[in-house]
Amino acid sequence: MTAPITQLLEAVRDGDRDSLDQLFALVYDELRGQAHRHLNRAGHARTLNTTALVHEAYLKLAACEQPDWEHRRHFFCVAARAMRQIIVDRARRRLAQKREGRLDRVDFDEKNVAVEEQADQLFALDAALAQLESMDARLVQVIELRFFAGLSVEDTARMLEVSERTIKRDWRVARAFLHRELNTG
């Protein structure tokens, strides 16, 4: 018997847009958990709350004309990438507003101040991830699932259908690459 998520993914691929709403209702708590873990790790750099990040990811994924999510793993990888893009885009907008001299009135909040301080780092990280993806896409998936979606080694291994040992090795390799790129740039 096919799992409910797989059935809904098949229906979405076949053009049933109502199934997309059902899919998100089914995976909403899991996506919130991923977003929550990532945002908690970000600490004071948070400018999105968990709900906002999941909702923005939903809007981004729902905007796909013809989603081709093959299975649960693929869907969650795409969702993790959407969360990463949302966070980088938010930092980009904040930095652009700052450079244009337009400052919105905001009550003092360390969460908002930290994004401006980290915007350049987020852009450098995004560029390094793009470079890494051209060499090894799975390494980027590991970073997206572990860092951006906040999954454990075990959950990442299940999502990518590889061993935990492979995930640990990929995590070390990807982090070393990013460390080198971010510290020499």
**Residue ranges per structural domain of the chain:** 4-184
Count helices and strands in the chain by DSSP H and E runs: 8, 0
Name the more confident of 167 and 107.
Answer: 167
Of 118, 52, 44, 49, which is closest to residue 88 (Cα–Cα)? 118
User: Which pLDDT belongs to residue 132?
Assistant: 93
Joined together, the tokens standing for residue 110 give 């360390």
Tokens of 77: 């990888």
Q: CA-to-CA distance for 21 and 12, rounded, in angstroms?
A: 10
Structure tokens, 18? 């109502």
Structure tokens at 92: 């980009």
Tell me the C-alpha distance between 109 and 98, whole Å.
16
Residue pair 94/115 in contact by the 8 Å Cβ criterion: yes
Confidence of residue 153 (pLDDT cuts 50, 70, 90): very high
Tell me what pLDDT residue 147 has: 80
Q: What is the pLDDT of residue 136?
A: 94
pLDDT score recorded for residue 3: 66
Residue 93's pLDDT is 77
Angle between helices 17-42 and 4-13 (to 10 degrees): 120
Is pTM, for the whole model, over 0.85? Answer: no
pLDDT band at 64 (very low <50, low <70, confident <90, very high): confident
Task: Report the pLDDT value the prediction gives residue 2, as an integer from 0 to 100.
Answer: 54
CA distance 18 to 39: 29
Classify the phi-psi angles of 15: left when phi > 0, otherwise alpha if psi is within -120 to 50, otherwise beta.
left
Query: Looking at 23-32, 117-126, 137-146, which range is the least confident one?
Result: 117-126
Give CA–CA dist 32/130, Å, rounded.
25
Give me the chain's average pLDDT, please: 79
